[in-house]
Amino acid sequence: MSQSLNLRPIVKEDAPAMYKSMEDEEGKWLTGSKGTFTLEKTEKWCAKLFDSNDRVDYAITLKDDPTYIGEAVLNHIDFEERSANFRIGLSGPKYFNKGYGSEATFLMIKHGFETLKLHRISLSVFDYNPRARRVYEKVGFVKEGVRRDVLLWEGKYYSDTTMSMLEDEWFAKYK
């Protein structure tokens, strides 16, 4: 996979770009993100990420520009079980359909298996987001099941698909 992106730890200075990305209605819809965000809350969130011991939050940046264009996250890390959950969000439609989601997913999952030595990485994807599901399948995630009616959005319920990848599947595909 050609590399046009970098992943780096999120810092407090990323807060304005992160906050702006949370105003994108399509991005909120694709990730099922609800809630009200302020710049101050976002700054506090970014500042405390560095001290967290159960998550790794990385800013997605272009190779030649350190500006935040999204985030890739391994959260709910359980080092005893060697497992984590993955999530990703790009900062709006201008970053969609350029391969950034695929590349950032690959880089973060590689980090999870090869650096953090995880055994299992899981995720969930809403049934109305087939583009993300294709990315996850391309990287190597396997469907585990469907959770019915997990999101109520504007009066309608939506389901999601749970997917996972195990370390032996990663190493069989990429080593």
Average pLDDT over residues 37-60: 90
Q: Return the SS3 of 135.
A: helix
pLDDT reading at 1 higher than 70: no
Distance, CA of 80 to chain centre: 22
Whether residue 2 has pLDDT greater than 70? no
pLDDT at 25: 78
Q: For residue range 7-36, what is the model confidence (pLDDT) as tens digits?
A: 999 998 999 999 888 877 777 788 888 878
CATH superfamily of this structure's domain 5-174: Gcn5-related N-acetyltransferase (GNAT) (3.40.630.30)
What is d(CA 85, CA 112) in angstroms, rounded to the nearest whole number? 10
Q: How far is CA 145 from CA 68, 140, 169, in A?
A: 33, 16, 18
In the structure, what pLDDT confidence band is assigned to residue 156 with cuts at 50, 70 and 90? very high
What pTM, to 2 d.p., does this model score? 0.92
Does the pLDDT at position 76 exceed 80? yes
Query: Between these two residues, 139 and 92, which has the higher pLDDT value?
Result: 139
Beta bridge partner(s), residue 62: 5, 65
